[in-house]
Structure 1
């Protein structure tokens, strides 16, 4: 955490004013993306330097219980959280504001920073603050024409018109169905933003929406519009009784442990593209290859461990995934559906396609208003290098059954092969629809209306019965406690697969990483093995 650069804190005489035995204000820094919890992998956890929502909530809980504390200055610097995470931070600051005076200081008035800061009692900004309130938007680059120019085409079979996975490779522009659903999602996000800010500032939603179209360019304009409560620099918000969080940690009373004998709640993350096999991570930001991947073997093993653990009374499955392998998604779904212990699914930024599939039979589903979910659909496809090979004098030769090579990139599908794949993805889609209908107690006809690959915001998903409640991980843990008959402060633990083998888990993982680095096994150009039928939302919808 960056040191607080305030002049009075750098003086050698840092004693409190006469008669003051404890700091009256504490400075809490917020910076980074705030992942929900530490990675389950020991090596990843060791390398992770980012503060988590879990750690932030623990800090805030200590501040709430400090009787000597009057207020907290929350300093936003380099805050890079996605909207769904910012909404969770808003909830944390809101709980703090119920106990203490909370002032958020924002040098940059951005859409996501304001979501988080709206949980504070007051919002202040320096006179020179950057104001960037242009609403939300997404931008996708379509590669179809570029690939075709170089002799590469892409076959894309999908169910149905809203299923946009792989279209950035097969098309040269965004089709109208995709434009429609993304526009509706953005409108839903801006509506959620307006509700959050309207509630925080005590104005109407129409007034808050007006801030997005009011061409605000300065802190003074934001103050005049009622968006912030004060123009001030940091040194105007603190006094001699203020200390940074790190300087007061020894003043907090240890938390009285809850009755652990009553039981605990397991938290299992499902982060990234869903793939067969074990979870893995590739830090290189490449299409299909980059980022975390949630392996069905790893996630199901963690679920089984939590189900078998006598102390665990409820399970929270934390999903941030656009789906992936239809098979892997179904295997994870099975572990959720067969659990005798209540399973609560909490959706983060994404819980789409396979990421929604795994949630359908949970006892309770919680999503952020900013979550992208739904995408009940199926896709299959492959690149076709026939023209590329001809241009570059490459000549693939075949021996044996052509059907065995139907997924080869050397030629397009035949009519018979295309019909076979369409039948296959139709069967997977029917199963997907049936899972949703049974789990959410909807008719298959209604699920098909909501499906066809269409994405929904968390707010729209609630309206359509695809989820049960708007909230965050804190909400999900409370619902799990209620379902299991546990107190709200019941202990939680990060459930991971049981350790197998004679070596400690981190040694096994290090050996696996070293092996992958040598053999490149971990860098397959297709992360789903031999599978070609996907419940996947592959668009990187990064709102700006």
Structure 2
């Protein structure tokens, strides 16, 4: 009997031992991996910087430029070296770190020039490009040369390249200037086919954020409004690049018919087309370009390349931390209730940061950097009230608007002592809406029905039933009240009557220059101007910036870099069906914001600009 039992139980014992071995093996591998990561980080942080030599700063910018990366630069650099993530075009770069780096290189005697190699630069919003361009112009004005090299340039790449003293293009290359466009998805027909009932509550003639649920195309009012500000942004682009290239905007971009005729004249040779239109200075092979750069910067025999250091390896000195502090707090992304998530502004998180700055005796002023299309009304009000408390405590608050500060993004701007926007900032969009979907017809079509009893119509709320008329009326009144509160806040902040605000509100999107004319902002400028104004209002002669950016944990680093590496190595057809790694969602958020899935206002009230974040 014992022999029979041993025969029967033996496979189970071996299976159990095998499972234990596999479990211990995996845990040990993970432990070794963590140890290697920790040792690598220690060596990276404590390694001595190489002795600098004279040469160029290679601006080999990869990925997107954002105002607030989801991963701190130092941690991303470590992750890139240790884990070998090759997802360059998914990488996030800090706008302010990049500008500070360019300014440090301008003052560095060992840096004798810049080489812009932008083939992996995926883009940035127009306001960020202008700010980077400002730093490039400062570098060039210092007397140090800038060279741009590339096999091709998209519009964002070419904008930065236009600040160079000389632009090189290889013989098979091209410069892609085509203009700007906005595109949104519209769902009305889909919702009709699915028998989904969409209940819309809104205020504002131009509040186009709800149009995707009501129409299959853009309304004439929204088309006129968007055409206005989009044309102005394109005009800013052309004016800047044309001035850099010392030609007129009409010469730079004569229009599609004229460009087609010019391309035919050179037999479709896009490189010669760019040369003849003065978009570039020289068409040459990579060898010829390298030879010319060697004459300027010299040759490094060991590296077998020109004397240059990558921007990601460049060691710049830490800025002085003397004097009082000015807090820099970000609102970057859609505004949601609760804590911050990648690509969003958490009402609780941001309000908490403002409160910390208000209570910190070393903080003498706040620069609130906003780059948001808006979102939840309740979260926006939470942030606004905390910012108002900071101002009432005696600490000056200066709002610096980035690419967009619209709807809820403008709501949270109202308590500021001073508002500064860039000429291409999208702002305004003062309006409120609510969206509730119900699925009673969808379920009914497949034979599923909902029934029950309630003590009042207001208690009988369910996505599986039609909305009670009493609730719909109350919801519309709530939206209208929210709009009145919005324009009242704006009127109080901008010294206008609610009637005056209403004329420029109604959900109308304004570009920065028009917002200045309409009195919605105080000054046209950039982040530097906002910092200077904050120092002026706080009467600070010596100060440094305290950046309110949370540091990622080691686990965040490992997961983010590992997922990015795996994602980058997948075939493109598979990538198309998978979501981007979590650390990159912020960069991709503007493509088509998830209106119903990302926003979570408890009363379903939103101050949100749908079209502001989708410029291509």
- Work out whether the TM-score is over 0.5: yes
Residue among 490, 513, 527 paired with 1:436: 490
| Corresponding position: 1:222 with 2:262 | no
| Corresponding position: 1:423 with 2:494 | no
How many Å separate the matches in 2 of 1:75 and 1:61? 18
How many Å separate the matches in 2 of 1:444 and 1:44? 48
1:93-123 residue CA offsets vs partner (Å, 9 max, x unmatched)? 1221122211223433322223333333333
Greater share of residues in helix: 2
**1:78-89 superposed matches below 5 A:** 78-82=120-124, 83-89=126-132
How far did 1:405 drift? 4.6
Q: How many residues align?
A: 493
How many Å separate the matches in 2 of 1:487 and 1:245? 35
How many Å separate the matches in 1 of 2:75 and 2:188? 36
How many Å separate the matches in 2 of 1:69 and 1:496? 29
How far did 1:173 drift? 2.2
Alpha carbons 1:436, 1:447 under 8 Å: kept? yes
| Corresponding position: 1:493 with 2:536 | no
Give the equivalent residue in structure 1 for 2:603.
Answer: 531
How many Å separate the matches in 1 of 2:73 and 2:116? 31
| Corresponding position: 1:296 with 2:317 | no
How far did 1:56 drift? 1.5
Residue range with higher mean Cα deviation, 173-182 or 123-132 = 123-132
Residue among 312, 320, 336 paired with 1:258: 320
Q: TM-score, normalised by structure 2?
A: 0.73
| Corresponding position: 1:243 with 2:286 | no
Alpha carbons 1:337, 1:362 under 8 Å: kept? yes
How many Å separate the matches in 2 of 1:409 and 1:326? 22
Shift in CA distance, 425/392, structure 1 to aligned 2, threshold 3 Å: same
Alpha carbons 1:462, 1:470 under 8 Å: kept? yes
**1:70-109 superposed matches below 5 A:** 70-82=112-124, 83-99=126-142, 100-109=144-153
Any stretches of 5+ residues in structure 1 without a counterpart?
Answer: 1-20, 282-291, 498-503, 518-523
**1:354-393 superposed matches below 5 A:** 354-393=408-447
How many Å separate the matches in 2 of 1:253 and 1:354? 37
Residue among 196, 203, 224 paired with 2:247: 203
Give the equivalent residue in structure 1 for 2:528.
Answer: 474
1:123-177 residue CA offsets vs partner (Å, 9 max, x unmatched)? 3322322232111011222111111111112111211121012321232222111
Alpha carbons 2:373, 2:609 under 8 Å: kept? yes
**1:22-101 superposed matches below 5 A:** 22-39=53-70, 50-82=92-124, 83-99=126-142, 100-101=144-145
Give the equivalent residue in structure 2 for 1:308.
Answer: 359
Shift in CA distance, 148/47, structure 1 to aligned 2, threshold 3 Å: farther
**1:393-472 superposed matches below 5 A:** 393-405=447-459, 408-472=462-526
Give the equivalent residue in structure 2 for 1:543.
Answer: 615
Give the equivalent residue in structure 2 for 1:270.
Answer: 331
Q: Secondary structure at the match of 2:427?
A: strand
| Corresponding position: 1:317 with 2:368 | yes
Alpha carbons 1:31, 1:76 under 8 Å: kept? yes
How many Å separate the matches in 2 of 1:325 and 1:411? 25
How far did 1:539 drift? 4.2
How many Å separate the matches in 2 of 1:276 and 1:41? 24
Alpha carbons 2:427, 2:511 under 8 Å: kept? yes
Q: Secondary structure at the match of 2:200?
A: strand
How many Å separate the matches in 2 of 1:120 and 1:212? 26
Any stretches of 5+ residues in structure 2 without a counterpart?
Answer: 1-51, 81-90, 264-269, 300-305, 561-581, 583-595
How far did 1:35 drift? 1.7
Q: TM-score, normalised by structure 1?
A: 0.82
1:224-273 residue CA offsets vs partner (Å, 9 max, x unmatched)? 223333334442441034423249968x7745x5362x212211111222
Greater C-alpha Rg: 2
Shift in CA distance, 366/248, structure 1 to aligned 2, threshold 3 Å: closer
How far did 1:302 drift? 0.1
Cα root mean square deviation, aligned: 3.3
Alpha carbons 1:302, 1:496 under 8 Å: kept? no
Give the equivalent residue in structure 2 for 1:140.
Answer: 184
Shift in CA distance, 89/73, structure 1 to aligned 2, threshold 3 Å: same
Alpha carbons 2:331, 2:369 under 8 Å: kept? yes
